[in-house]
Amino acid sequence: MGLVSAACFAEMGNCVLCLGSDEIKIQQLQKSKTPLYEPGLDSILNDNLHAGRLTFGCEFSKISPQCQVFYISVDTPSARDGSADLTELWQAVDEISGQIKQDSFIITASTVPVGTSEKIKSRILEQLEKQGKFFNVDIVANPQFLKEGSAVADFNRPDRIIIGVESDKAKRLMSELYKPFSRSFDKLMFMGIRDAELTKYAANAMLATKISFMNEMANLAEKLEVDIEHVRMGIGADSRIGFSYIYPGCGYGGSFFPHDVKTLINMGAEHGYQANILHAIDDRNELQKHRLFEKLNDQFKGDLAGKTVAVWGLAFKPGIDDLCQAPSLVLIEALLKAGAKVRAYDPVAMDNARDYFSKLNIDDSLITLVDHQYDALKDADAMVLVTEWKPFRQPDFNAMKRLMKNLVIIDGRNQYDPATLKAEGFQYSGIGRTI
């Protein structure tokens, strides 16, 4: 998300130097080639590169002596114990410490555990003192709330801008920096640094809660022979609840929700608190990723060996090419272990999928990545919809019937009407749906 922030800041007339350690990605960016699929990013990147407002490099020594603002946006992935791995963060902090030439502002956009910003400031001041430098350093916590697939739009039209500051000077700087993004009404929300750090985690955990809760209700609805779609409409109409994030499915993935829930659990444990609700959210999500395989296994009475399963959708959500913790990977792994063959398609994530599966040394006869959604259906014993891409919403059922060996559809995102599928001759199973 750092690339999106840099491009959007440059678009507003700021001069932005982006530094990173991956030389291959930096070389791609210098040629205006983005290493990720994000709608709207290519044009902004290209325009600002050519305008000279946006530059890329690997050497921190290229930082101008006039630079006063350092914006940190590095990955803080989950370690095995659930804590945030801050290795890249500390590397960036140490590099920045060697480049500070005057009073400066350090803006942390990375998602970091509560108290990290204070540690950043202490570390920088300690290193400056060793260099015989005694500049004032203001720390700002500025967590981003960008959704993959709409990050550029989210940055340019934010719901709110959370800023944790410790001084009026930092508050004035951030007000000026974000002024172009907050013209219609005041979206800036200033608070304490630790408050801002926790706000990011709490926001993502709340959204994950809604998803896991709705999946729990959908699973219960199946047992009770209730259609979860009617329940969803009924509760979503309540203005206190709303319709956002209450769509049952096969679990969430990505770099944010799983990471942030686990890190919150870890932060609680470090301070002697057992976060029971967060544990339940995480557990339900991991179990939910197995629901599609369970449904297939039930459909074929535990005998999937030799069966061919078409998988529509590999990215963890539509609009992106990211496979990080995607439910599709859990499904495919389980299918291969059961002796099934997989034919898979995704509108955008095929390059990443080929790279991912090539590293697993899977026999090519067991998994085939195709270039068209209907190619995946050839002689398929079942089709599983995992990611709700728009091209999958209104498929040609007649073409599907001609291509598939058995007319079995497992709908992991409740995109299809059960009655319509039944009338077309398909055996249909959704998440909490009844026919």
Q: 131 vs 90, 124, 419, CA distance in Å?
A: 18, 11, 72
Q: Is 132 annotated as a binding residue?
A: no
- Owner of token pair 């002697």: 272
β-bridge mates for residue 382, sequence order: 309
Q: Which amino acid is at 270?
A: E
Q: Is 245 annotated as a binding residue?
A: yes
Cα 327 from chain centre: 13
Q: Is 145 annotated as a binding residue?
A: yes
Q: Is 111 annotated as a binding residue?
A: yes
Q: Is 180 annotated as a binding residue?
A: no
Q: Is 374 annotated as a binding residue?
A: no
Q: Is 76 annotated as a binding residue?
A: yes
Q: Which amino acid is at 288?
A: Q
404's torsion region: left (phi>0), alpha (psi -120 to 50) or beta? beta
Question: 3-class DSSP state for residue 189?
Answer: strand
Q: Which residues lie below 8 Å from residue 254, measured CB to CB, with a gap of 6+?
A: 148, 316, 317, 322, 324, 325
Q: Is 317 annotated as a binding residue?
A: yes
Contact predicate 115/143, CB 8 Å: no
Question: 3-class DSSP state for residue 382?
Answer: strand
Q: Is 147 annotated as a binding residue?
A: yes
Provide the token pair at 404. Answer: 């598939």
Q: Is 247 annotated as a binding residue?
A: yes
Sheet of strand 137-141: strand arrangement: 69-72, 104-108, 137-141, 161-164, 188-191
- Gap between the Cα atoms of 213 and 211, Å rounded: 5
Provide the token pair at 182. Answer: 């907050």
Q: Is 253 annotated as a binding residue?
A: yes
Instruction: State the DSSP string of 271-314.
Output: TT---HHHHHHHHHHHHHTTHHHHHHHHHTTT--TT-EEEEE--
Q: Is 390 annotated as a binding residue?
A: no
Q: Is 248 annotated as a binding residue?
A: yes
Residues flagged as binding site for substrate: 145-148, 200, 245-249, 253, 317
Residues flagged as binding site for NAD(+): 25, 76, 111, 148
Residues flagged as binding site: 25, 76, 111, 145-148, 200, 245-249, 253, 317
